[in-house]
């Protein structure tokens, strides 16, 4: 269950103009889908006398937040923002980080009213931004289209509340739930449209994780290629015994994180010389401590983790309670006796089944895309 579902939420009543303006602010936020990490994706629209005078979305870390972009956009368009209403998809920040607080800037600019979609979960903000606005006499409303705003930043909310990323496990399967033929052939089960869509999900993630088995069998790059993005997600390989080939594609370009339970100094030195970073996280069985890894990734400001791995690692992650959501592409094929997407143990009672909720079902080209979340 997501944080939003656990605590409940207020729903703000709004007129058509408010809904249209916040919808446009959410569209602005989507423009930063691939670039704002580790910051949230935020959009802002300024409206005055019934027209939109400024638009903006959060820039890459160190750049302007959405509100500042919208204010500067308004002035560049020849409008004075004084007296305008600001529609923001996340509560304006109240603290000095890489940039000054946006709430104070809205006060200084003479904004008359602020409508925010959802309260910022960052403990440094968490209502303080709205309080600054109210104390300055600005009319404040919160909760408009907050479910949409939450979904856009589900990883940021998860990290702020639980100290770990939102984990999305992606797999492509046949209609009879197979990921590859018995001999390992899997290219391509799904069509081009589904494969391109999968790259868009890669692009929105902060990091992509796979296991040594996939690296050994497929030698993947794990980069975003099918969609345009100015930023490549961090690549992570789980390799308990440091078996990775130094010539593996995933090591090219450097900066790959290798998570291991091995202390083999010779192997570690060789990988570090290739630009890889070694993360040592063993459990009591000499394997990788998966829950501890999720907490470590949260400390490293990973909001959304995208997993593309084989049945063995997929199963281990699910059994460890480390997966929040399944992203499954289903092709209209029957592969017969072939490789499975999971190797979960047999159950004697239906009550012991792991339960999910369908969050979204959509046709992508000739295939189906299903988002299902663990309850």
**Which one of the listed residues 67, 91, 304, 325 is annotated catalytic?**
67
Q: Look up residue 43 and give its DSSP letter.
A: E
Cα torsion 20, 2, 8, 361: sign: positive
Sorted by sequence, the CB contacts under 8 Å of residue 73 that are 6+ apart come out as: 46, 54, 55, 56
Q: Look up residue 147 and give its DSSP letter.
A: H
d(C-alpha 284, C-alpha 292), whole Å: 12
Confirm if 303 and 37 have CB atoms less than 8 A apart: yes
The answer to whether 272 is a known catalytic residue is: no
Q: Look up residue 282 and give its DSSP letter.
A: B
Residue keyed to tokens 């033929």: 181
Confirm if 87 and 54 have CB atoms less than 8 A apart: no
Helix H or strand E encompassing 273:
helix 265-273
d(C-alpha 128, C-alpha 135), whole Å: 10
Confirm if 321 and 315 have CB atoms less than 8 A apart: no
d(C-alpha 91, C-alpha 120), whole Å: 5
User: What residues are labeled active site?
Assistant: 67
């Amino acid at each position: 269950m997501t944080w939003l579902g656990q605590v409940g939420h207020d729903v703000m009543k709004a007129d058509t103009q408010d809904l249209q303006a916040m919808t446009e602010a959410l569209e602005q936020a989507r423009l930063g889908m691939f670039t704002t990490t580790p910051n949230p994706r935020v959009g802002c629209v300024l409206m005055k006398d019934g027209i939109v005078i400024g638009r903006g979305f959060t820039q890459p870390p160190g750049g302007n937040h959405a509100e500042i972009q919208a204010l500067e956009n308004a002035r560049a368009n020849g409008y004075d923002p004084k007296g305008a209403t600001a529609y923001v998809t996340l509560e304006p920040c109240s603290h000095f980080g890489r940039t000054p607080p946006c709430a104070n800037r809205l006060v200084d600019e003479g904004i008359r009213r602020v409508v925010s979609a959802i309260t910022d979960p960052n403990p440094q903000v968490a209502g303080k931004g709205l309080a600054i606005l109210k104390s300055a006499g600005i009319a404040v409303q919160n909760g408009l289209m907050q479910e949409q705003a939450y979904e856009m930043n589900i990883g940021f909310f998860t990290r702020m509340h639980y100290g770990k990323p939102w984990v999305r496990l992606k797999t492509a399967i046949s209609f009879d739930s197979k990921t590859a033929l018995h001999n390992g052939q899997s290219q391509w089960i799904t069509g081009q449209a589904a494969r391109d869509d999968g790259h868009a999900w890669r692009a929105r993630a902060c990091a992509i994780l796979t296991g040594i088995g996939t690296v050994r069998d497929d030698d993947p790059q794990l980069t975003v290629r099918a969609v345009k993005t100015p930023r490549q997600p961090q690549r992570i390989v789980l390799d308990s015994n440091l078996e990775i080939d130094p010539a593996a594609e995933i090591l090219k370009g450097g900066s790959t994180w290798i998570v291991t339970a091995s202390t083999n100094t010779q192997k570690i030195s060789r990988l570090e010389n290739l630009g890889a970073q070694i993360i040592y996280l063993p459990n009591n069985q000499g394997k990788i401590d998966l829950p501890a890894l999720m907490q470590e990734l949260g400390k490293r400001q990973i909001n959304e983790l995208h997993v593309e791995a084989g049945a063995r690692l997929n199963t281990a992650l699910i059994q460890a309670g480390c997966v929040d959501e399944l992203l499954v592409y289903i092709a209209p094929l029957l592969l017969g006796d072939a490789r499975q997407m999971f190797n979960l143990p047999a159950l004697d009672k239906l009550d012991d089944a792991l339960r999910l909720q369908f969050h979204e079902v959509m046709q992508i080209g000739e295939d189906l895309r299903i988002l299902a979340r663990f309850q």
